[in-house]
Structure 1
Amino acid sequence: MLLEQLDSYKLDITAIQELRWLGKGVMEKRDHVVFYSCQKKSHMFGPGFGKVFNYSLICAHAPTEDKSGEEKDSFYDELNEIYGKGPKMDCKIIIGDMKAKVGNEDVYRSVIGKHTLHNKSNDNGMRLINFASSRNMVIGGTVFNDKDIHKRTWKSPDGNVFNQIDHILIDVRHCSDLMDVRSYRGANTDSDHYLLISEIRSRISNARKIHGSQAKKLNCGKLVEQGVATRYTGLIGECLAGLSDSEDVSEAWRGLRDVIINAAGAVLGRLERIKYKNWFAGECEQVTHQKNQAYKRMQQRNHTRGGVEEYREARRKGTGLHKKKKREYDKQELI
């Protein structure tokens, strides 16, 4: 459901907070690659990324306003350390739920723009401003003169309070690459946060994105079979014997790399990608569509009681059906 919402907005990179998974790793889902880092034992918080290409991106999830100063200090110390580890010449971008209300104070104009939702910064807002100032960054969502409804990134459960607490920070020297930052209320992911989208152009790198099928993984499991490892090393030896010497280190490395990969492909073969098993099709897609339509009607009616109840009922119906279909699918897989 989340991937379908992201696909509908044609996003290249997505920063996600509160995945509530366990551990860290990389997961492939259909045409998406998810990089995640969550707590080891408890299903709490956990930032993740969609697809990453070229930029140094940091996905952050800050403590709430009511947390202690020590916890907030620890968060920004760690964020500062992670920022410092990035390549010096990279364009660094911080994306996340910063829990920060950024005000419209003139004294911080080097860091913030004139178009914030709030007039006065809270404690988390001041900490974010101080961090951005220390790292020579700009808080992107405050720069663009969008409507207030497009500055809101969070709504209270009763739908009466709206805040701008999710932010995108970018290095000042790349600030002109940021074309727009605004929220989209139509994306329904059963969250109290709106989808925040930024449009970024790069006028420095001329690298072209090559579209095509994703390379299949080598079937390294075959190496344990009798005789396979011997044939693999033998083929590598034969290919290396016919490889011409080169004084250029880069060219020599490329030649060695190609020999190893080509030999592995010939002897080991490639693994077929596991196709997405779609238990979600049919009824699940229908109730999800109905829920999303109810969500949009609730937004258009400004969270009237009838609109909220209609959405909650559609959400309960969808969640119940999703769980039922998933249980049936898992049961069938075990047979």
Structure 2
Amino acid sequence: MLEESIGTYVQRWLPIYQGCDNTHKLGTAFIVMGEIQKRVIGWWPIDNRMCKLKIRGRYFNVSIINVHCPHLGSNDDDRDTFYAPLERAYVSCPKHDVKIVIGDLNAQVDQKEEFRSVIGKFSAHRLTNENGLRLIDFAASKSMAIHSTYFQHTPYRYRITIRSCFDSDHYLLMVKMRQRLSIVNNIRYRHPPRYDLERLKFPEVVTEYVQSVEAALPEEGEHIEAPLEDLWCNVKADIDSAAEGAIEFVERNQRNGWFDEKCQTILDEKTAARGWMLQLGTRQNVMRYKLKRGQQTNLFKGKKRRLEEMKCEEMYRSQETRKFYKKLNASRAGFVPRAEMCLDKDGGILMDERVEQVKAALK
């Protein structure tokens, strides 16, 4: 159908990236339509059984490898010859790209439990053939999943496909892809607990801590042949265990201890008023939003002020004079902007105005 053995065929709005040899057998291709044409970064024919297309994505670029695996009637050398360039094509993709392998892999996979993390539990086959085992090995080594068996399929009587117009026994399927940022690995950092060092002012606490450390640490000459790293880990664990029992931890003060249900209610009302103002910017909606915002500001300031007064009273009554005056001076000074300084090439200190001039010159 296509005159070029390897190249691009464009007919009005339908570019076809295809690769095959002069016999026009086998070959793989991509049909790119619509706005996706503007997002194509490149296309690379690998051999007569695979090619690669790279598309610019929203967050990450997408590298798609289209393949046609030898069937079971082929010998082992042909299948080995197929997976070797597939491995190289996958490795050649940038690390941060979304990598997808599509096409006809001539594989069957069953529903065995040991392959569940790779193949899922919705396979339509009862046995796994040799191509299926090779596919599972490849997917597992790349931390990939076989999505044709990973999700529940629509019953066949409701499935709608488009018959191929290229005189093939396959069906063309249209897929819409959307990119989202994964939050699975976004683990929130938790600050390690701090020991209450103020308790070391009491002699009984110091005595208990010293006795616990002496009892936990190994005797002299013990663990001589142990690696230095392992020995240090054991000593550190013993010291931490003794400190946890004798010194204990400091209870962290929760941020915004003044924020209660009343504050949450006025915040929700202000947010709802802002939504109405943005949706329909009438004078009434604008005035309602300003009123709710003023109520929220006054309530939050009052809560914060009362909490600060309570803390100062507690410090004064407990005779923590240093903390009391430090808190009092900080509240009197108010917000103090941080001074920006940097060094010039001669080692001199540049203050705020000079720093702004340097920033402007570097832009």
TM-score bin, normalised by smaller chain: 0.3 to 0.5
TM-score (norm 1): 0.43
**Higher gyration radius (CA):** 2
TM-score (norm 2): 0.40
| Higher-RCO chain (CA-CA 8 Å, sequence separation at least 6) | 1
